[in-house]
Every structure is written in structure tokens, then in C-alpha cells.
Chain A
Amino acid sequence: MIGAIRNYLVFLGRCARIAFVGDWRYYSWMGVLSVFCLLGLNAYARQFAHGLVVTGMTDEVSWGVYIANFTFLVGVAAAAVMMVIPVYVYNNEDLHDLVIFGELLAVAAILMCLAFVTVDLGRPDRFWHLIPGLGQFNFPASMLSWDVIVLNGYLLLNLHICGYLLYSRYHGRKPARWFYIPFVLLAIVWAVSIHTVTAFLYVGLGGRPFWNSAIVGPRFLASAFTAGPALIILALQIIRYVTDYRITDRALLTLRSIVQVSMLINVFLLANEVFKEFYSGNLHVASSKYLYVGLHGRHALVPWIWTAIGFNLVAMVLLVLPVSRSLRWLNLTCVLCIIGIWIEKGMGLVIPGFIPTPLGEMLEYRPSLNETLVCFGIWAFGLLCYTVFLRMAVPILQGRLCKANESAAPWTSALAGGVPGVKS
């Protein structure tokens, strides 16, 4: 038992050490991310000291970019399932060795989600009121309490799956199926649940007609399964570029098919919503009017939403055409998908729900500089986490960081003959 714990600690220690080792590109990338993290932390410290008054939020628009980013990132986290299903349900060979990168992305995305909700709290010092058993957890009535459970549960599931598979590979052992397959299958259902529950946060509010619509949940999933795999396509190519890990074009094209179908569904659902809102023409259309064409002379979101729709439509056309089989076009398409959906689902979903207010007042929202810096900080933190995860996972998967070479001094062995997993 003590031996097992010792082995595990040695493993963790070596993983931690390797995160600090890399070539100049690695150091500069991590350096830039660290600077943004610190800028974000600085902005958050200001918010912590003075309150949410340093944000652009008001009683009229009481949620802003924090919750918008949170919503988008829950989708990214859920999208890992789009790699898990082909591999574990349909035994897809191309994605088999890559699925862990999707799961690690999910872990990083959930960490960002948790950071975004935390910075949105007025009293973060009272977070313990949310801990079941210690505080007062309004479960099952509050959708937010569901979200706390599903997000943290999803984080634990993915940490277990990734951690166990990597540790087995480190030991050169075949992982025991019973110890991870049930969790993988559970994680598939769980991934759908995190985004559905997050949609229900909004859908459940009868007083906000813009959100109180059954299509929000399906739209969330469709957009998540577009933007998430698009992000993974880009991430995989970066991994392929900076390491010599084998990632085939066929794997990327498999993900392209997923993005393709999801984007078609996403645009279709959007059309459904726009039709329902505008054709029936009842008074509840106010928020949609504000979003798409402006209302009572206020139209801050109009250029954003049309950019998003433009990007989504262009991406959809590119995805349908064979041209996106070439990686250059595919990458462009992925960038369009990610930006389009980030706007549409973040700011395009959260902000119009508040405009006009339930009493008909029109007050627009613009994120403050401080708020924006906090957002950049959290994104940098998430990218930092993902980079570190990859820095540990790639050499383990390649067998360069393993039990067998443990006896050699771990620090120097990592340096000897170049850095494992990084092309020299």
C-alpha cells in the first residue's frame, strides 16, 4: 500500500517536473500565458476589493461576459463526448489514440467554467454555503445546484479517466477495462447533462421569454458539438506540429464530419427560433428584435450577431463543400465556427435576455476593461492548464516518460537527448 502511494507520488512528481521543461517555444508560450494570468488575477483582485461595480453589469443587465464565457465553455467541455462516442461506441480506430486529448480539453474547459462562475459571485468568501452538508444546498429545486453537481461530477469523471489511462500507460500496463469503461460510458451521458442543465438554467425562467424556450437546450448541444470539435481539430494540429505524436489527417477529417453535421443542425435550429420569434410577432419578440435589428434606437449587439450568423453560414457552406477537406480551409472553417458560436451563444444568448428588463426599460451592457482582463486571465489560465496536461500526457503516451526510466535521475533524464515529446 505504502509502495503504491510512493509510486504514485513519484509519478506525480515526474509529471510536475516535466511541465517545467521544454524548448524556447514552450517557455515563451507559457510565459505569455502566465503574464495574461497575472493580469487577470490583478483585475480580479481589484474586483474582489471594490465589488462587481468594476464590471459593466447593472441591476438591469445582471449577468455579462463572465456567464457568457461560462456558457460557451460548458459546451466545449461537453464536446469531448464527440470523440468519446466514436471511439468507445463505434470503435473508431483513427481517433482511438487521440480521445484523451479531447478529455483533457474537457478538464481544462471545466476548470475555466468554475473560474468564470466564481468571479461572477458577489460574495466568493461564502462559496462554502454551496457545499452540500456544510452549507444549504437547494437541491433539486435550483438549477444552479444541479449545475454545481454535474460540472464537478464531470470534472471528476474526466480526471479519473485521463489519470487512470495515463498512469497505466506510464507503468506499461494494460488498463483494467472495468476500472474505466463504466466511467467512460457514464461520462457520455454526463457530458450531455452538463450542457442540458446549463441550458435549463436559462430555460427555467418564466419571466424571461427570450430564454424560456424549449429550443435553447437542443441549440446548446448543436452549437457545442460544432465549436468543441472545431477547437479539438485546431488543438490536434498544434500538438502534431510541436511534438512528433502521430495524428493522422483521417482523424481530423472524422472530426470534420462531426462539425459538419452539427453545424447544419445548429443553423437549422437557429432558423427555427428566428421564425417562431418574428413570424408570430407577439410582444415577447422584444429581446430578439433588440438582438437582431435593434430596439428603440439601441442596437449594440446587432453587428455582433450578424457577424456570428455570417461566420456560421460561411462555415456551414465551407463544411458542406469538399474544399474543407484541405486542412488550410478546414482550419479557417474551424476558426469561423468557434468565433461565430462564441458570439452567438455567449453574448448573443445571455445579454438580450435582460434587454428590455421585465419592466420594459432599455439599458445596454458593455463589458468594462477590468471585466475583460479577468476574462482574458481565465482563458489564459485554461490554456495554461491544457498545455501542461499535454506536456505531461504526450511523453507518457509515447512511452518516453515511463516506469522503466524512473530509476535514472528524473530531472536529467527529461533533459537528456532533448525533451521527450518535443521535436528538437
Chain B
Amino acid sequence: MTPEKSDTNPAAGPNTGMTRRSFLRGSAVIASGLAALAASLSPLRELDDAPSAEQFLQKYYKELTPAEMARVLKRIEDEVERQYGLRPHVRDLKPLDGVEFVYALNLTRCIGCRRCVYACVAENNQSGTPEVQYIRVLRLPDGSLDLEKAEHFYHPESVPEKGYFYMPVQCQQCKKPPCVKVCPVHATWQETDGITVIDYDWCIGCRYCEAACPYWARRFNFAKPSVPKDRLNLNMAYLGNRPRRRGVMEKCHFCIQRTRVGRYPACVEVCPVGARKFGNVLDPASEVAYILRTKRVFIQLKEELGTSPRFFYYFDV
């Protein structure tokens, strides 16, 4: 049978209308198409942190029953142990009743030494490469709060420098947080003690909150975060400093793993000049309540935006 005749071959079936030649040609096209598709997908072989079924299907934080939460915490501990060879203690710490945390920062005292930045990195298991930091210290010329005049990368021999003052900025824990409003999946919310938290296992990584934050307080994990093993802080909280994954947001959470068990945030503890004050504003005897009662002038950064920060800058007058 010649190839030309195959066009009229009744064996091909009256309704398929497909000849052997067109079938072969079609198969060749499909096969090479599939090969090209497979080749184009080959970088997926380098994927080293694909989610397990358990991770993929994990429920939203607020919907986890205590038993489910216990399983999740154990899974996280297992994951950390597998990666670092050290077993952490991961807790799900709830906000305490009758507590609303407030931060006060004395701009007269701050010397711009950035010890808070490094203490925060160590306490909160922040990635070294790529570098993630929650606190940014701005150097401003005396007399101006125009942030456009801020120098972010000052590096003198020693601080403080004449003619400048320093303003550390981190999450302002707003009472009306724009980041919470814009999140399309409720992955970030404000807790009763005033801390805005992120469920790292629920965030889809759209970065809308990052665009919405007027304080540039949020950070995105553009790559897989890496924490040096000898720096790993094993005291972890689910909504706090447990290791994050690639592709999710994170930010300052007032050191939930410390403050919800009665300790100070790492940045407060490390500050050598006592510029940082932290406490429960609902307790009249607390230092922050005293400061807010007695100081005449505060700055709530970008007050005009109506975000109502729980972070107050003040001066010694």
C-alpha cells in the first residue's frame, strides 16, 4: 500500500477521519511537545523545600483545635531538628488578659549603636543570607523629622555623631493596622494584647501588606532563609520567632516568645542607654504608663495617617 492510498484507507474508520500519516505526524508533534514541556520544567528538580501533604493542608491558626495545634507544634520541632540537629521548644503562646503592650523610645537618649538591630536578629532567628532585619535605625539631622533626609547606612568610627539624632523604626503595632486590613487571607491580625502577628503557615506571599505599611516594617522572604546553627534560638513561639519559610512575610512581634511570659523584648534588654521602654499600658504602675502620663510631647510616627501606633517616641526635655 502506498502512502498516498492510505488517505482513503477504510480501516482508518469512517468517523475518525485520521490517516496513518496524520496520526504519525500528530504523535511526533505531541511527543516533541511533551519533551519540550518536560525540559522547560526541569528547574523544578532544584526545589528542595516542597511542602509536605501535612504542611499543604494545614488549617488556619484560629481554626486549629488544641490537639491539632499540639501536632503542628511537634511537626515544627521535628522540622527544625531535622534541619539543624537541635530540638527547639515551640509554644503557642496566647495573649494575656488585661495586657496591652506599648513601646516608648527616648530619642534624646538613643545613640544609634544598632545593638537593638543585632539583638533582634539573634533573638528572632532572622535570616543571615539573605539578610533580614526588623529594626532600621535612621540618622537624622538635628531638628528635622523629614524621613527623606534620613541616612540608613551611616557608618562612622563611633556614635553618637554631632549634629545628628537617631530614630530606630520597627513595627509600630498600630491600633488600626493597614497591613491587617489589606491581607486577602487573614494571615495577619491584631491580637488582644495589641501585637499584630502573622501566621507564617497561612501567608500566600502577595506582599500587599508590605505595600500598605507606612513604616516599612514588614519583610518578605525572597529566598529560603538561613540561620547559622550556632545562632539558633531554641526558645520559639508559633506566632513569633520560629523559622520562617521562603515566600512568606515576617516582622517585629514584640518578641512574643518573651513578652507573653513576662520578659522584656530583646531590643529593650540590650539597649545600653535605656532609650527603650516597654510594658503593659493598662497597668498604671508600669514604666510606659508613667511615661505616657508625665511626658508632654510624643511623636506617633506619621500620626496623620490615622494608624494610631502603639509605639511612642519621646524626648527628655
A138–B186 alpha-carbon span in the complex (Å) = 6
| Cα separation A252 to B222 with both chains bound (whole Å) | 46
B204 near A360 (CB under 8 angstroms)? no
CB–CB B16/A357 < 8 A: no
Q: Are A409 and B14 interface neighbours, CB within 8 A?
A: yes
Interface contact B17-A45, CB-CB below 8 Å? no
* Chain B residues within an 8 Å CB radius of A58: 222
Q: Do B211 and A122 touch across chains, with their CB atoms under 8 A apart?
A: no
Please count the residue pairs between chain A and chain B whose beta carbons lie under 8 angstroms apart in the complex: 195
Contact across chains for A360 and B185 when beta carbons are under 8 A apart = no
- CB of A123 within 8 A of CB of B205, answer yes
| Interface-located stretch among B106-114, B212-220, B289-297 | B212-220
A129-B185, A360-B150 known; A122+B248 contact, CB < 8 A: yes
Instruction: Tell me whether A411 and B306 are in contact (CB under 8 A).
Output: no
User: Is B302 within 8 A of A45, CB to CB?
Assistant: no
B56 near A122 with CB under 8 A, answer: no
Are the C-beta atoms of A49 and B44 separated by less than 8 Å? yes
Asked if A143 is an interface residue, CB under 8 A from chain B, the answer is yes
B216 touches A358 (CB 8 A): yes
Is B223 in the interface zone, CB < 8 Å from A? yes
Rounded to whole angstroms, the CA-CA distance of A49 and B45 in the bound complex is 8
Are the CB atoms of B305 and A51 closer together than 8 Å?
no
Question: Known contacts A51-B221, A122-B220, A412-B17; is A204 also within 8 Å of B43 by CB?
Answer: no
- Asked if residues B187 and A129 are in contact (CB atoms below 8 Å), the reply is yes
Q: Within 8 Å CB of B205, what residues of A? A: 52, 121-123, 126
Give the docked Cα–Cα distance between A129 and B178 (Å).
Answer: 20
On whether the beta carbons of B204 and A359 are closer than 8 Å, the reply is: no
Bits for B296-317, please: 1 = Cβ < 8 Å to A, else 0: 0000001001110000000000
- Contact across chains for B206 and A359 when beta carbons are under 8 A apart: no
Q: Is A130 at the interface (CB under 8 A from chain B)?
A: yes
**Which of chain B's residues have a CB closer than 8 A to the CB of A138?**
183-186
Minimum CB–CB distance for A32 against chain B, Å = 13
How many angstroms between the C-alpha atoms of A263 and B143 in the bound complex? Answer: 46
Is A250 part of the contact surface with B, judged by Cβ < 8 Å?
no
Taking Cβ atoms with an 8 Å cutoff, the residues of B that contact A are 14-18, 22, 33, 36-37, 39-48, 51, 56, 60, 130, 136, 138, 146-150, 152, 169, 178, 181-187, 202-208, 210-216, 218-224, 245-248, 302, 305-307
Between A and B, 19 residue pairs with Cβ closer than 8 Å are: A49-B45, A53-B130, A55-B222, A59-B218, A60-B216, A123-B205, A127-B204, A129-B202, A136-B202, A141-B182, A142-B181, A206-B307, A207-B305, A207-B307, A208-B211, A360-B149, A361-B216, A411-B17, A412-B17
Given contact pairs A123-B204, A138-B184, enumerate 7 new A-B contacts (beta carbons under 8 Å).
Answer: A38-B36, A45-B44, A51-B247, A59-B216, A125-B51, A148-B184, A360-B150
9 interchain residue pairs of minimum CB distance: A122-B205, A207-B214, A122-B247, A409-B17, A411-B17, A53-B223, A360-B147, A144-B184, A42-B40
